[in-house]
Chain A
Amino acid sequence: MSIQAKHIEQPTVLYLNGVSVSFDGFKALNSLSLYIAPGEMRAIIGPNGAGKTTMMDVITGKTKPDEGTILFKDEIDLTKYDEAAVANLGVGRKFQKPSVIESLTVFENLEMSLKGGRSVWAALNHRLTAEKKAKIDEILTMIDMTGRAHDMAGSLSHGQKQWLEIGMLLGQEPQLLLIDEPAAGMTDEETMKTAELFKMLAKKHSLMVVEHDMDFIEALDCKVTVLCEGSVLAEGSLAAVKANQKVIETYLGR
């Protein structure tokens, strides 16, 4: 379905080529190109305002790019879909600000996120089957919240909300997860646990994680892309990127 042909050979789960977005003349993304292979975990770092969140907006259909190609699984042109459609295609997204449904319980939040049954009619006739309940319980265990299943999501701590949101992503069973600053507001211990969780997830899903916390990135132990002023500044292992002169000047050095 792609309008523009891909110009790299390898299979990708996400393919961004020459993507630009501007707001009132300000280029938030400037001919950004980025490729993520199936099953890959990728860390994205970059200074504030580099365009990391905007990149996720563009992928998930929230913002339409001015130009450029965005392909999912090599063939689906994501620019043609809106947020809900992109989500249903198998792209899950966690926001920078934790956004869970505060006036529903943890359980209900997860129940809502479970794959399938997105139509109005299905929602009206939804029944909680044993199978679904088992799935929710599984996620609850994974995010370590079994004990709080019936508490209001609004009563959770910041870090717990982050986890719940990750859990909700898992319920969606996406192929690609976009995760915006998950460690923000977490204790060190929680941060490390999160890194472990992601590494576990990376076995089944492709992940793109935006983060500032260098220890966290270190713990993820994956390829790193440095974003600056809307385009890629450097790419490679964390060590290589850290040694990169340009990166030191514009980002790390400060």
Chain B
Amino acid sequence: MTAYARFSLLFLSLFFTAPLFAEDMETASAETVISDIAEEKTLQDYLAELTEAGFREKEELVLKVVETDEPETLPVMQALLEGDLYYVKDGNTLVYKTSGDPVTVFGGETMTGLGSRDIKKISVNNSLRTLLRAQISRVELFSKNPQTRKTAAINLLKSADELDPALLDEALSQEADAGIKEILLLVEGIRQLESDDSAVRLEGITALTGSLYPEVRGALSNFANRAEADGNGKELAAAEAALSKINAMLRFNSIFENLYFGLALGAVLLLAAIGLAITFGVMGVINMAHGEMIMLGAYTTYVVQQLMPANPGASLIVSIPAAFLVAGLVGVAIERGIIRHLYGRPLETLLATFGLSLILQQAVRSIFGPLNRSVVTPEWMAGTFEVNPALALTYNRLYIIIFSLLVLAMLALVLKRTLFGLQMRAVTMNRPMASSMGIRTGWVDALTFGLGSGIAGIAGVALSQLTNVGPNMGQSYIIDSFMVVVFGGVGNLWGTLVGAMSLGVVNKILEPWAGAVVAKILVLVFIILFIQKRPRGLFALKGRSVDMG
């Protein structure tokens, strides 16, 4: 085991056991009173003896230590097992020592200024190690914290064969939690595979069928190999059937996972493309600076976070309207300053806005520097959701999917249900008519463009959670966004949704099979071919308003 793994194991056990001790305090103190009367020896005392004891004595002391059931009991034993338990020669203070300075066992203070000569390891031999392992399992398996028990049970899957069967039986009979019991039964199943009795072995196979723990799969395939070597046809067939069932489930898992990744990528594409669906799809304006609107949104997130560093969660929420405003206002300025003069000249618009994208990139580079900035992800966005032992889905992707759909729904609402949405559609359908009805078409144009840009800004907030924030980040989205809008069908939000999601999923499904880059190329080539077959996209509106001829 590497130092890092050892440390994290220690850390984990500390972490998981800590809350348990808090609630144990009252009961424990009551018990201590009794034992104090009988022996009057505490954990400290045993440990003090440990520093001087021989191996034989140490074994007895370990058993006594187990009985103390103090908060420090488990960590001490684990440290002892890992060889991380030391004492300071001067004064016999017990310390943990991994890579950095030693930390006291009682009180958790870091001791500085000690050289390697000043402390001494409390050594263990193999038989002590076996004892420690068994005792640690025992302590953990009967812990009051279900999470500790679960972790212990999962750890047992790895070392099922070294386990004391009596301990397992006892744990099984006492375990109330169905989930943990299931794991313990798997441990039993793995042990049964080792049995001399063929019937028991078969029973073991049955018990293990359908479990997705990698250890179970490993045990089963080892067993299958042995059975094949022994020419044991019946057991081999049973084991293989179990394995193929597990493999089928794993395949399903990976399909599901790809789908999830694909939807998440689709959500990113959707977020990036929704704004474009407005500026390009509704207004027919090619805004090559669209990616830079995303970038502005991301930088806004970064700035807001710098302003309220203590609270990444709240700053993220604040960033959403802030990014919308920043990108939206820049959008309005672009429309009034440049695009307004170029209506009806799409290619010129394309060039002018491209120039703008260069200016914006360089502006951001000059202000924030050329290096990527990273935005802190709030805690509630980190973490994973465990679907089954072989499949864990990260929350941030889930949030992005939900968020993108929310943004789309809001936009659809704005377009369908508000006066502004109505005016916007009126202007795009029949400009002279709209203006003769008193709609200020110039104003509507500016706001529409601002809306599209603002949404791109919101996309930037979301993307800041997934990728680094840098001056060039917008560029990577511009082609993809156009592909989505064109693929989905210009002027059609529904098409944008379907376009984004299907491109995302197709990309991720191709990825494991073709590699990320080739998958991307294939998707691009597919779209190029697709546009040639259906120039108006998936959900084309057949009408004069979008007529390009």
A and B touch in the complex (CB under 8 A): yes
Shortest C-beta distance, A48 to chain B (Å), equals 14
In angstroms, Cα B544 to Cα A24, docked, is: 11
A 1-38 contacts with B by CB, 8 A? 23-24
Interface residue? B533 (CB, 8 A): no
Q: Which chain B residues lie closer than 8 Å to A24 at the CB level? A: 541-543
Query: Please, which residue of chain B has its CB at the minimum distance from the CB of A62?
Result: B549
Bound-complex Cα distance A23 to B536 (A): 15
Proximity string of chain A (167-198) to chain B, C-beta cutoff 8 Å, 1 when within and 0 when not: 00000000000000000000000000000000
A86 to B541 CA separation, bound complex (whole angstroms): 27
Name the residue of chain B whose CB is nearest to the CB of A25. Answer: B542
Chain B residues 454-487 with CB under 8 Å of chain A are none
Interface size class of A (residues with CB under 8 A): under 10
> Could you tell me which residues of chain B, from 512 to 549, have a CB within 8 Å of some CB in chain A?
541-543
CB neighbours of A23 from chain B (8 A): 542-543
CB distance from B491 to the nearest CB of A (A): 13
With both chains docked as a complex, state the minimum distance between the C-beta of B544 and any C-beta of chain A, in angstroms: 8
Closest to A24 in B: B542
A123-B447 Cα distance, complex, nearest whole Å: 48
Complex interface: chain A residues within 8 A of B541 (CB): 24
**Chain A residues whose CB sits within 8 angstroms of the CB of B543 once the complex forms:** 23-24
Main secondary structure of the interface of B (DSSP, over half): loop
Shortest CB distance B92–A (Å): 89
CA distance A95 to B541 in the complex (A): 24
Q: Which partner residue on chain B sits nearest A23 by CB separation?
A: B542
* Cα–Cα distance between A197 and B543 once the two chains are bound (Å): 36
- Nearest CB of B to A119, in Å: 23
In the bound complex, how far is the Cα of B543 from the Cα of A21, in angstroms? 13
A23 to B542, CA, bound (A): 7
CB nearest neighbor in A for B541: A24
User: Complex Cα distance A148/B22, Å?
Assistant: 101
Bound form: Cα–Cα A24–B536 in Å: 14
Q: In the bound complex, how far is the Cα of B543 from the Cα of A23, in angstroms?
A: 7
**Chain A positions within 8 Å of B542 at CB level:** 23-24
Bound complex: CA A24 to CA B541 (Å): 8
Nearest CB on B from A245, distance (A):
33
Complex: A23 Cα to B541 Cα, angstroms: 10
Q: How far is the CA of A23 from the CA of B547 in the complex (A)?
A: 12
| Interchain CA distance A24-B542 in the complex, whole Å | 6
The 8 A CB mask of A85-118 against B (1 = contact, 0 = none) is 0000000000000000000000000000000000
Give B473 Cβ to nearest chain A Cβ, in Å. Answer: 39
Q: Mark B435-454, 1 if CB is under 8 A from A, else 0.
A: 00000000000000000000
CB distance from B249 to the nearest CB of A (A): 47
Closest Cβ of chain B: how far from A117's Cβ, in Å?
25
Task: Give chain A nearest CB distance to B494 CB in angstroms.
Answer: 15
**Using a CB-CB cutoff of 8 Å, which residues 110-154 of chain A contact chain B?**
none
- Cβ proximity bits B144-163 to A, threshold 8 Å, 1 near / 0 not: 00000000000000000000
Whole-angstrom CA separation of A111 from B302 in the bound complex: 63
User: Within the assembled complex, what's the spacing in Å between the Cα atoms of A115 and B541?
Assistant: 37
**Chain B 210-237 per-residue mask, 1 if CB under 8 angstroms from chain A, else 0:** 0000000000000000000000000000
CA distance A36 to B542 in the complex (A): 31
Measured CA separation A141–B542 after assembly (Å): 43
Residues of B498-521 contacting chain A, CB below 8 A: none
Min CB distance B69 to A, Å, is 77
Assembly CA distance A212 to B58 (angstroms): 112
Closest partner residue, chain B, to A22 (CB atom): B542
Shortest Cβ distance from B544 into A: residue: A23
CB proximity of A78 to chain B, nearest CB, Å: 19
Q: CA separation between A24 and B539, bound complex, in Å?
A: 12
The smallest C-beta distance from A142 to any residue of chain B, in angstroms, reads 30
CB A45 to nearest CB in B, in angstroms, measures 22
Give the CA-CA distance A24 to B543 in the complex, in Å: 8
Cβ distance A25 to chain B, nearest Cβ, rounded Å: 10
CB distance from B115 to the nearest CB of A (A): 85
| Cα distance A59–B306 in the bound complex, in angstroms | 66
How far is B541's CA from A143's CA once the two chains are assembled, in angstroms? 41
**Docked pose: A133 CA to B358 CA in angstroms:** 52
Instruction: Identify the closest chain A residue to B549 (Cβ).
Output: A62
Rounded to whole Å, the gap between the CB of B490 and the closest CB of chain A is 15
CA distance in complex: A24, B545 (Å): 13
Provide the bound-state CA to CA distance between A24 and B491, in Å: 15
Output the least CB separation between B549 and chain A (Å): 8
Chain B stretch 405-460: residues in CB contact (< 8 A) with chain A: none
CB distance from B535 to the nearest CB of A (A): 15
State A24–B546 Cα separation when bound (angstroms): 13
Give the Cβ gap from A58 to chain B, nearest Cβ, in Å. 15
Instruction: Give the CA-CA distance A12 to B505 in the complex, in Å.
Output: 56
Distance to closest chain B CB from A26 (angstroms): 10
User: In the complex, how many angstroms separate the beta carbon of B540 from the nearest chain A beta carbon?
Assistant: 10
Shortest distance between the CB of A22 and any CB in chain B (Å): 9
Within the complex, what minimum Cβ distance (angstroms) separates A253 from chain B? 25
Could you list some 5 contacts between A and B, CB below 8 A?
A23-B542, A23-B543, A24-B541, A24-B542, A24-B543
In the A-B complex, list the 3 residue pairs whose CB atoms are closest, starting with the nearest: A24-B542, A23-B542, A24-B543
